[in-house]
Amino acid sequence: MRVNLLDFDAERLAAWFAGRGEKAFRARQVLRWMHRFGEDDFGKMTDVAKSLRAALAAEAEVRGPVPISDTVAADGTRKWLLDVGGGNAVETVFIPEANRGTLCMSTQVGCALECAFCSTGRQGFNRNLSTSEIVGQLWHANRMLGAVRQPGVGNSGERVVSNVVLMGMGEPLVNFDSTVAALKLMLDDNAYGLSRRRVTVSTSGIVPAMDRLRETVPVALAVSLHAPDDNLRDRLVPINRKYPLQDLMAACRRYLENAPRDFITFEYVLLDGVNDSDAHARALLALVRDIPSKFNLIPFNAFPNSGFRRSTPGRVRRFQEILMAAEVVATVRKTRGDDIDAACGQLAGQVRDKSRRGVSPRLTFSPKRSLEVI
Ligand code: SAH
Ligand code: SF4
pLDDT of residue 84: 82
Atom 8 of ligand 2: nearest residue by CA position: 170
Cβ-proximal residues to 234 (8 Å cutoff; 6+ apart), any chain: 240, 241
Measured in angstroms, how far is the CA atom of residue 238 from the centroid of ligand 2? 10
From the CA of 118, give the closest atom in ligand 2.
3
Q: Average pLDDT for residues 314-335, to the nearest whole number?
A: 94
Closest CA to 371 of 332, 345, 353: 345
Measured in angstroms, how far is the CA atom of residue 118 from the centroid of ligand 1? 6
Measured in angstroms, how far is the CA atom of residue 364 from the centroid of ligand 2? 17
Atom 19 of ligand 1: nearest residue by CA position: 118
167 C-beta closer than 6 A to ligand 1? yes
pLDDT digits (tens, 9 = 90+) for 138-176: 999 999 998 665 555 444 344 589 999 999 999 999 999
How many CB atoms sit inside 10 A of residue 28's CB? 18
Q: Average pLDDT for residues 278-303, to the nearest whole number?
A: 95
- Amino acid identity, position 271: L
221 C-beta closer than 6 A to ligand 1? no
pLDDT at 276 over 80: yes
pLDDT of residue 281: 98
The domain segmentation of the chain, as residue ranges, is: 3-61, 66-373
- The CATH architecture of the domain made up of 66-373 is Alpha-Beta Barrel (3.20)
Q: Work out the end-to-end distance of the chain between its first and last CA atoms, rounded to an integer number of angstroms.
A: 40
Determine the CATH number of domain 3-61: 1.10.150.530
Q: φ, ψ for residue 69 (rounded to 5)?
A: -150, 160
- Known catalytic residues? 91, 344
Q: Average pLDDT for residues 33-57, to the nearest whole number?
A: 96
> Among 115, 122, 242, 346, which is best to mutate for testing ligand 2, by the most ligand atoms less than 8 A from CB?
115
- pLDDT-based confidence at residue 47 (cuts at 50, 70, 90): very high
pLDDT digits (tens, 9 = 90+) for 104-151: 999 999 999 999 999 888 888 999 999 999 999 999 999 999 866 555
Measured in angstroms, how far is the CA atom of residue 118 from the centroid of ligand 2? 6
Closest CA to 366 of 289, 283, 300, 304: 304
368 C-beta closer than 6 A to ligand 1? yes
* Residue list, ligand 2 pocket, CB within 6 Å: 111, 113-115, 118, 120-121, 170-171, 204, 224
User: In the 3-class helix/strand/coil scheme, how is the chain assigned residue by residue?
Assistant: CCEEHHHCCHHHHHHHHHHCCCCHHHHHHHHHHHHHCCCCCHHHCCCCCHHHHHHHHHHEECCCCEEEEEEECCCCCEEEEEEEECCEEEEEEEEECCCCEEEECCCEEECCCCCCCCHHHHHCEEEECCHHHHHHHHHHHHHHCCCCCCCCCCCCCCCCCCEEEECCCCCCCCCHHHHHHHHHHHHCCCCCCCCHHHEEEEECCCHHHHHHHHHHCCCEEEEECCCCCHHHHHHHCHHHHCCCHHHHHHHHHHHHHHCCCCCEEEEEEEECCCCCCHHHHHHHHHHCCCCCEEEEEEECCCCCCCCCCECCHHHHHHHHHHHHHCCCEEEECCEECHHHCCCCCCECCCCCCHHHCCCCCCCCECCCCCEECC
pLDDT at 333 over 90: no
> Among 114, 120, 372, which is best to mutate for testing ligand 2, by the most ligand atoms less than 8 A from CB?
120
The separation between CA 32 and the C-alpha centre of its own chain, rounded to angstroms, equals: 23
175 C-beta closer than 6 A to ligand 1? no
Atom 6 of ligand 2: nearest residue by CA position: 121
267 C-beta closer than 6 A to ligand 1? yes
224 C-beta closer than 6 A to ligand 1? yes
